[in-house]
Structure 1
Amino acid sequence: MKVVVVTGATAGVGRAAARAFAKEGAKVALVARGRAGLEGVAKELGGHGFPVEADVADFRQVAEAARTVEKELGPIDVWVNCAFTSVFAPFTEIDPEEYRRITEVTYLGYAHGTRAALDVMRPRGRGVIVMVGSALAHRGIPLQSGYCGAKHAIQGMYESLRCELLHDKSGVQATMVHLPAVNTPQFGWVRSRLPRRPQPVPPIYQPEVAAEAIVHAAKNPRRREYWVGMSTVLTLLADRVAPALLDRYLARTGYSSQQTSEPAKPVEGNLWEPRDETEDEGAHGRFDSRAHGRSPQVWLSRHRRAATGAGLAAAALGYRAARRVAASRKSA
């Protein structure tokens, strides 16, 4: 991985991923809107960071960003779609214009990034596109209908694209990384109409946990999906087994679990204007004291063969031990 593009690179998971790719020695093109954020992450990455100001909702800006990166850094090896925006509110309290903007940034932003990446990767017959997804791409929750709808759309687009790439026997590969609740600045950035301050649904993970999984996925893109965090695994499995029961559970718990006990503060949000235009806020949100810096599930997911082998070996040893005990009882 010599050249990597990360959209939404100035905060949260995007910023942590940019740092992780830079540690791998890659030149990282940082695509975002906020000037202070871009300057901050570029400085943080030193010679590995290349800031590109662009709004992913505008395909012309994204395509121009791709051309600029290819000209300045060289052929793009990996493109990571991570930028998004949202509104925390019940469905009927989100205006049509807000829904449109959420869709343009979150869903169409991924479509624009994917198309720009394919336009430069397909002629070369190589490259990797990583979609940063969420458990909410499969399972909608209350108060986030705009975001959940966009993530579901990304999932559908990704599945179609992956089939097409396989059909064409393309050297370009795509994979998706589904994340749990992450401690990012979004909970202070996105527009909210909730009575109390929004929070990630616990358990909460640090952005570096997600970043580790994204880098691994970029190196191992043949796998269709990566699930990060045990909460993601349990949510997706529960939705497959008992979706109606999960509806009722979320109806009962989904409002309180997404809000702290603190009264809400007026937040204009980052729908149309970046929150880090004049001040760089970094990768983390305000939940450091509650966030997990590691996930055993991520390790197991990355080392499935070793974990499966160890499990089978343990089962075999247990079986042999049980047979010995049974045999000794019979002889007695």
Structure 2
Amino acid sequence: MAARLKPVSQQVVVITGASSGNGLAIARLAARRGAAVVLSARNAAALSVIRDEIVAEGGRAACVVADVSSMEEVEAIAATATEAFGGFDSWVNNAAVGIYGSLEQVPLADHRRVFDVNYFGTLHGSLVAARHLRERGGGAIINVGSVLADRAIVEQGPYSATKHAVQALTDTLRMELERERANVSVTLVKPGGCATPYPEHARNYMDVPPRIPPPLYHPEIIADAVVFACATPRRTLYIGSGTIASSLVSQVAPRLTDLVMEAVGTRVQQRAADVQDSTKRDNLYEPRSDGKVCTDQHVMMRHHSLALQVQKLPKLGWIGLGVATALATGARAIASRPKHSRELIGPGRGSHHE
């Protein structure tokens, strides 16, 4: 049975990683929709400015400085929400850090740090939120994942690995809460490329500045998905038809996508060397300059996602995704046949090459 959730205008929403990018977009949209928001990140100065902006526009906001890799600091986020607004109704695990470089280039300490923030930070938030929402009588937990949970990319191995882990964590959390009949919705939002300051903030071991491969979606689209999930139970929300296609292709033709990634994966994540703003570079261990929703890089970004809007429909969205999944399963079955069986199909009539 689906969880019964309050309208967003009646909610208190906690957002981690709220000082920039998707988290900032989520906070602003939730506040505009009438929710009280609890903003959390490591950058105290940026949080204070964002909180004051929301309050000046008539919204309700509180902020708390916290590193989600620490369970104690995550518990302090919940305590702040309780002190300021009497508790919370939705918890958004959005905080994340990134690294560019090969698995061998990245020191083991940095691998662990990415997991400490991206995976254990999500785990900490999920456990604290689940405990609170059980006592409160229900609510929503929304984890911001990535299409890289389905299709790892070269030069971002540690980040991809954490998003695989977050997907498994989210599925497990959902099953456990459903088994105990808790009135808690658990949603995984899976964006493709987002036009956030991620490239500026990520630690970079490549020889040139990084970028996110297009197509890029404006962070407001991710915010729309998250705020929708605060009030409407959904298992998964993909951002963009390209994200869905990438996920399906990686399942149908994994070897082909490996080869494509090997050929162009590094190049599409690099841009011509230029002067980078040192105040924003590398926030792996310490916060840097924050407060912006979008990247400083000149990129083309999409402001709408028809695929997301379809998924928001009561039944049709899931039917569409079900059909797509069925087609992918059928294609995988064809690909798994013995070679002589596939040859009987004939070129151009359903044959599959990886």
Pairwise TM-score range, normalised by the shorter structure:
0.7 to 0.9
Cα gap change, 1:92 to 1:309, in 2 (>3 Å): closer
Deviations 1:196-241 (A, max 9, x none): 22111100111001111111122212x2111111221111111121
Deviations 1:297-325 (A, max 9, x none): 22222236467999xxxxxxxxxxxxxxx
Q: What corresponds to 1:92 in structure 2?
A: 104
Contact (CA 8 Å) 2:78, 2:87: kept in 1 or not? no
| Structure 2 partner of 1:11 | 20
Counterparts of 2:171 and 2:156, CA distance in 1: 23
What SS class does the counterpart of residue 187 from structure 2 fall into? strand
1:240 pairs, out of 238, 251, 254, with 251
State which of 265, 283, 291 in structure 2 corresponds to 1:270: 283
Match of 2:42 among 33, 39, 48: 33
Aligned equivalents of 1:210, 1:236: Cα separation in 2: 17
Structure with larger Rg = 1
Q: Equivalences for 1:111-130 in 2 at 5 Å? A: 111-130=123-142
2:306 is matched by which residue type in structure 1? P
Does structure 1 conserve the Cα–Cα contact (< 8 Å) formed by 2:140 and 2:229?
Answer: no
Large movers: runs of 4+ above 4 Å: 263-268, 304-310
- Comparing both structures, which one devotes a greater share of its residues to helix? 1
RMSD: 1.9
Letter in 1 for 2:286: E
Deviation at 1:87, TM superposition (A): 1.0
Q: What letter matches 2:163 in structure 1?
A: K
Q: What amino acid maps onto 2:210 in structure 1?
A: P
Structure 1 288/275 Cα, relative in aligned 2: closer, same or farther at 3 Å? same
Question: Which residue, 50, 60, 64 being the options, matches 2:76?
Answer: 64
- Identify which of 71, 76, 81 aligns with 2:93: 81
Query: Offset of 1:171 from its aligned partner?
Result: 0.7
Structure 2 residue 276 is the aligned partner of structure 1 residue 261: no
Contact 1:206–1:288 (Cα < 8 Å) also in 2: no
Q: Distance in 2 between matches of 1:194 and 1:299?
A: 37
Structure 1 residue aligned with 2:326:
none
Q: Which residue of 1 aligns with 2:311?
A: 301
Contact kept, 8 Å, 2:38 with 2:61, in 1: the verdict is: yes
CA distance in 1, matches of 2:319, 2:114: 44
* Paired position in structure 2 for 1:226: 237
**Pairing partner for 1:24 from 1, 22, 33:** 33
For residue 229 of structure 2, what is the amino acid of its counterpart?
A: A
- Match of 1:179? 191
Runs (5+) with no aligned partner, structure 2? 1-7, 321-354
What fraction of aligned residue pairs are identical, expressed as a percent?
Answer: 33
Counterpart code for 2:282: G
List gaps (5 residues or longer) in structure 1. Answer: 311-332
Distance across 2 between alignment mates of 1:63 and 1:173 = 20
SS at match of 1:4: strand
* AA aligned opposite 2:27: A
Q: Secondary structure at the match of 1:160?
A: helix
**Pairing partner for 1:250 from 242, 261, 275:** 261
Displacement of 1:125: 2.7
The 3 A distance-change label for structure 1 pair 264 and 241 is farther
* 1:324 paired residue number: none
Question: Which residue is equivalent to 1:291?
Answer: 301
What amino acid is the match of 2:162?
A
2 CA distance for matches of 1:281 and 1:308? 35
Asked whether the equivalents of residues 183 and 286 of structure 1 are also in contact (C-alpha less than 8 Å), the reply is: no
Distance in 2, matches of 1:20 and 1:265, equals 29
What TM-score, normalized by structure 1, do the two folds share? Answer: 0.88
* Structure 2 CA distance for partners of 1:54 and 1:248, relative to 1, 3 Å: same
The one-letter amino acid paired with 1:291 is: M
Q: CA 1:146 to 1:307, structure 2 compared with 1: closer, same or farther past 3 Å?
A: closer
Question: Aligned pair in 2 of structure 1 residues 184, 308: CA closer, same or farther (>3 Å)?
Answer: closer
Deviation readout 1:133-185 (Å, 9 max, x if unpaired): 11011211000011111111111111111111111111112111100111111
The Cα shift of 1:253 comes to 1.3
> How far did 1:93 drift?
0.5
Distance across 1 between alignment mates of 2:273 and 2:135: 53
With over 3 angstroms needed to count, the CA separation of the structure-2 counterparts of 1:49 and 1:229, relative to structure 1, is same
Q: Distance in 2 between the 1:242 and 1:14 partners?
A: 33
Aligned residues, how many? 306
Contact 1:57 1:108 in 2 (8 A): yes
Q: Distance in 2 between matches of 1:236 and 1:287?
A: 26
Q: What code does the residue aligned with 1:233 have?
A: I
- For residues 102 and 191 of structure 1, the distance between their equivalents in structure 2, rounded to whole angstroms, comes to 10
